[in-house]
Structure 1
Amino acid sequence: MENIDRDLQSIQDVRRLVEKARQAQQEYCKFSQEKMNKIIEHVAESAGLQAERLAKLAVEETTFGNLPDKIIKNKFASEIVYENIKDMKLVGILRDDKDRKVLEIGSPVGIIAGLVPSTNPTSTVIYKSLIALKSGNAIVFSPHPKARHCIAEAIKVVSDAAVEAGAPLGMVSGMSILTMEGTHELMKNVDLILATGGSAMVKAAYSSGTPAIGVGPGNGPAFIEKTANIKLAVKRIMDSKTFDNGVICASEQSIVVEKCIKDEVVDELKRQGAYFLSKEQSEKVAKFILRANGTMNPQIVGKSAQKIAEMAGITVDPNARILISEQTTVGKDNPFSREKLTTILAFYCEENWEKACERCIELLNNEGIGHTLIIHSNNEEIVKEFGLKKPVSRILVNTPGSLGGIGATTNLVPALTLGCGAVGGSATSDNVGPRNLINIRRVAYGVKEIEDIKNFVSNCSDRETSHTVLDISDQYIELITKKIAEKLSL
């Protein structure tokens, strides 16, 4: 009976939050873009000042990742995201095309449900709050249970700052009684779901009957092509995979190399702190990557190489930064060929770049289709070939996967929700920003009368008929000419 009561309490809590958010948003959407801009400026500044404190809370509660990188992610979510969106025009008149007589008006979608993962808890709250407020929307968060306290604190920081700057109370809020029933109630009663989290939750968002923007799992291969600067490519991969201990979904999951440079790449990886597991060690580590139901084991998420080795009962170099297992197969039953949000990489060697290309596609089809691929190469033609053939939404060239994918080391939109496109089961292939959170209303003036359309269609029909007659005439003349020629030859 107690569980049922808690479910009902959670549902009631959600209904209250949504009602309050609805009232607040109806007032907020009347604000000018300039007034909204001042609010998000203050929110970004306040969140940035709390970046370290929120990062500490996240690490202590989840045990995922590490403090210095969590601070960077909070700063990224507040300062870099803000710099990217601050000058955008998203509400009111966006464009007035005098020539075509079409007026475009930005309109908020209303209330957004923000699903928050445990891997990037506080940074996701900051980022989603900023893009929601910028686009005139209220947001109600559903925290991951394993990060509920740090997420609640991040919500408080953002909400307090928004109210201080003039936003109505209720524009940013979060569930306090966490149940699946409550989250489902939230998803049914909002206007849009912004889902970042596990596959089950994302699928639930798309099945809720409410429009949703979700993401799929990442399983990005990193291909080192023979023209690459190998030392720099390895550095970027190592920096990326160790950033917050690999919890960003765009981080590399496998390295694929050509046979002709394998030895050089392996030597460089070892020199920079990679530890290659033996067959026996790989078997022990493999047991910890997946749970019995085939999903990623949360015990390994965001852990250091040393911690994973300790859990697996193996001894590795005390300075090892990454654990690497050389593999030759790809499949659901091979945990090394799947998404590993931790300091583990698979390593594949292929005969040439064409075979490496096929291996990368195989890895993506196994898991992570539509998400991200990384290529290290100085051959522009091969880069283009990868761009044309790979079933992903972002191909990152000569950059760390984790920070390149979220737009920190590339000019992609800075974001912590990365769409996977239709091929990956997502509603968008974008790095999600505030433009994804508005509807565009179009005011279109009449420029033709129905008689103009009728005349146009009639003229098209006449032209088609004349072409047909001309074609027949040409064929007839050709036939007569041929007959005359035959008679003259006789």
Structure 2
Amino acid sequence: MTGENLVPHAGQLLERAHFAAAAFSDYDQASVARIVEAVAEAGHRNAERFAAAAVAETQMGVVDHKIVKNRACSRGIVDFYRDQDYVSPRIDSARKIVEIPRPAGVVLALTPTTNPVSTVYFKVILAMMTRNAVVVAPHPRAKQCSADAARVLAEAAATAGAPDGIIQVIDEPSIPLVEALMADERTDVIVATGGTGVVRAAYSSGNPALGVGPGNVPVLVDATADVEAAARRIVDSKAFDNSVLCTNESVLIVEEAVAARLRSALTRHGAHILDEDAALRLREFMFPGGALNTEVVGRDASWIAERIGLRVTPKTRVLIAPFTDVIGEEVLTHEKLSPVLGMTTVADARRGIRAARAVVRIAGAGHSAAIHSEDPATITDFAAQVPVLRVAVNVGNSTGSSGLDTNLAPSMTIGTGFVGRSSIGENLQPDNLINWTRIAYNSDAGVPMANFAGLSPWRSPAGPVPAYPRASNDTAAAPAPAVRTVSRAPARRNGDPGIEALRAELRALVAEELAQLIKR
């Protein structure tokens, strides 16, 4: 697509999404639940296919581990929120408040190359739960698998009765096109997952944005830890999908009293601890000129070892490079997004906490940290002093802080809060994509509150879901899909007031769209 066509194309995507969002915002909970279930099942059914496609296209990660993430971000997300209702009014009789949910509208979902399909699944399903339209903007290096996954979910949503255009995807992403989408007033909220540049661009767009900061996770193993279990969990976490989750451990800090035992246990569980010479070669290869060599991202340990002339056994899953000083000039204290772990030793837990603070000051503020300990006082001090918003205890942090192996909200988008320059401080969840209109009664006990039980302003769509109206000479756009039905009402004859009202509404929508296009 040529540059001059980018802005009009962005407008077409958003106009169609805006139309769909307006229709979807009137759906009741039963209709929404049916659509969400259909989308989740389609994602789960294709989890293996898209895991393989993602690894083939991006050359990052492990197929089996991406299958786990795809399943967790499809059926797993729905199961986690199964008892939650983001559609029906909430009634608090004690406070005399009724809360009515309002969808954001059109969500622009920027998805990364590291976790492409699982992030598409995750953001689309959250949008469906909250009655939003979503436009997926994939990373160029993962555009094919992301677009294919989004189309599978879109077809499932349409078949279950969602409005035409409720899920759309950019097939050929480019910086000008994404910038046009982010800046357009028809984008109601941007959900940005990716590098710092992408997130900053989202925040600078002029539209509301939910973005996240980079991870750089310190993990402390203190003298009270179950050393064998800690070693196994850390290696498993670092090897999980070759460390492409931003929650993976980056710097291992071990208390001197258990350091020798931990090194032995790490080796037993598949880690290779580098000597001084190999660690120097690793630094030079991974951080030429002080910046991360992106070729290593998502690669396995043996691939990286081969590049630095290091021979390792076939069972090696993680490379561990010891270092001394936790300072910014030491490249091993920075995020690596690969199964490479920096390791340093401290005299006691207090100094370990100080080292973890230093790691996060270098990078990763607000993100996450991990600790292996049986001492609640140390755990509390660690959580209070290290400036992060999630601390995983006695669990691998890749799946711990992302909510896959803890009871945190399962998420592919990790908020870093004010300290990390993010607008959210929690794992992204459905509540972040809606606002609530609050009906608030007089707090005087003498003023009664009416009975709102069973009332809802939303309805199950009766009859055909109208297709997005298109101009008769719109040959560039794909033909509109066949009309889908949610629950059919008795057929009406021509001249029926309901049919005439629907036709009038569609005519008004087309006229409004044409007027908007003329203005632009």
Tell me which interval the TM-score lies in, with the shorter structure as reference length.
Answer: 0.7 to 0.9
Task: Give the partner amino acid of 2:114.
Answer: T
Corresponding position of 1:378: 374
Once residues 138 and 423 of structure 1 are traced to their aligned partners in structure 2, the CA distance between those partners, rounded to angstroms, is 30
Cα 1:6/1:288, change in 2 over 3 Å: farther
Corresponding position of 1:444: 440
Corresponding position of 2:216: 219
Corresponding position of 2:39: 43
Q: Secondary structure at the match of 1:392?
A: coil
Corresponding position of 2:24: 28
Q: Write out per-residue CA displacement over residues 261-298 of structure 1, whole angstroms, 9 at most, x where no aligned residue.
A: 11111111112221111222112211232354x54322
Find the partner of 1:164 among 145, 159, 167. Answer: 159
Corresponding position of 1:9: 5
Corresponding position of 2:117: 122
Corresponding position of 2:168: 173
Task: Give the partner amino acid of 1:20.
Answer: R
Task: Give the partner amino acid of 2:237.
Answer: S
Structure 1 residue 260, shift from structure 2 partner:
1.1
Task: Give the partner amino acid of 1:287.
Answer: E
Corresponding position of 1:85: 81
Q: Secondary structure at the match of 1:393?
A: coil
Contact 1:198 1:217 in 2 (8 A): yes
Corresponding position of 1:275: 272
Contact 1:37 1:86 in 2 (8 A): no
Task: Give the partner amino acid of 1:383.
Answer: I
- The root-mean-square deviation of aligned C-alpha atoms, in Å, is 1.5
Structure 1 residue 407, shift from structure 2 partner:
0.9
| 1:387-398 alignment, distance < 5 Å | 387-398=383-394
Find the partner of 1:100 among 68, 86, 95. Answer: 95
Once residues 113 and 269 of structure 2 are traced to their aligned partners in structure 1, the CA distance between those partners, rounded to angstroms, is 29
Q: Write out per-residue CA displacement over residues 86-115 of structure 1, whole angstroms, 9 at most, x where no aligned residue.
A: 331112412x22333222111101111101
| 1:136-175 alignment, distance < 5 Å | 136-175=131-170
Once residues 447 and 219 of structure 1 are traced to their aligned partners in structure 2, the CA distance between those partners, rounded to angstroms, is 48
Structure 1 residue 448, shift from structure 2 partner:
5.9
Q: Write out per-residue CA displacement over residues 50-108 of structure 1, whole angstroms, 9 at most, x where no aligned residue.
A: 000011110100010011101111001001111112331112412x2233322211110
Task: Give the partner amino acid of 1:407.
Answer: G
Once residues 287 and 10 of structure 1 are traced to their aligned partners in structure 2, the CA distance between those partners, rounded to angstroms, is 41
Pairing 1:112–2:100 present: no
Once residues 419 and 314 of structure 2 are traced to their aligned partners in structure 1, the CA distance between those partners, rounded to angstroms, is 41
TM-score by length of 2: 0.83
| 1:290-439 alignment, distance < 5 Å | 290=287, 292=289, 295-439=291-435
Contact 1:132 1:138 in 2 (8 A): yes
Contact 2:144 2:171 in 1 (8 A): no
Corresponding position of 2:51: 55
Corresponding position of 1:245: 242
Once residues 212 and 303 of structure 1 are traced to their aligned partners in structure 2, the CA distance between those partners, rounded to angstroms, is 31
Contact 1:106 1:438 in 2 (8 A): yes
Corresponding position of 2:469: none
Cα 1:97/1:285, change in 2 over 3 Å: same
Once residues 224 and 443 of structure 1 are traced to their aligned partners in structure 2, the CA distance between those partners, rounded to angstroms, is 50
* Percent of pairs with identical residues: 36
Q: Write out per-residue CA displacement over residues 364-388 of structure 1, whole angstroms, 9 at most, x where no aligned residue.
A: 1101110111000111111111122
Task: Give the partner amino acid of 1:17.
Answer: L
Contact 1:219 1:367 in 2 (8 A): yes
TM-score by length of 1: 0.88
Task: Give the partner amino acid of 2:163.
Answer: P
Contact 1:118 1:144 in 2 (8 A): yes
Once residues 443 and 407 of structure 2 are traced to their aligned partners in structure 1, the CA distance between those partners, rounded to angstroms, is 39
Once residues 220 and 201 of structure 2 are traced to their aligned partners in structure 1, the CA distance between those partners, rounded to angstroms, is 33
Contact 1:93 1:105 in 2 (8 A): yes
Contact 1:220 1:254 in 2 (8 A): yes
Once residues 339 and 169 of structure 1 are traced to their aligned partners in structure 2, the CA distance between those partners, rounded to angstroms, is 41
Q: Write out per-residue CA displacement over residues 324-346 of structure 1, whole angstroms, 9 at most, x where no aligned residue.
A: 11111234432211111111000
Higher-Rg member (1/2) = 1
Task: Give the partner amino acid of 2:151.
Answer: K
Once residues 209 and 28 of structure 1 are traced to their aligned partners in structure 2, the CA distance between those partners, rounded to angstroms, is 25
Once residues 421 and 284 of structure 1 are traced to their aligned partners in structure 2, the CA distance between those partners, rounded to angstroms, is 36
Structure 1 residue 254, shift from structure 2 partner:
1.2
Q: Secondary structure at the match of 1:339?
A: coil
Q: Secondary structure at the match of 1:243?
A: helix
Task: Give the partner amino acid of 1:250.
Answer: T
Structure 1 residue 117, shift from structure 2 partner:
0.3
Contact 2:140 2:172 in 1 (8 A): no
Cα 1:318/1:447, change in 2 over 3 Å: closer
Contact 2:143 2:172 in 1 (8 A): no
Q: Secondary structure at the match of 1:371?
A: coil
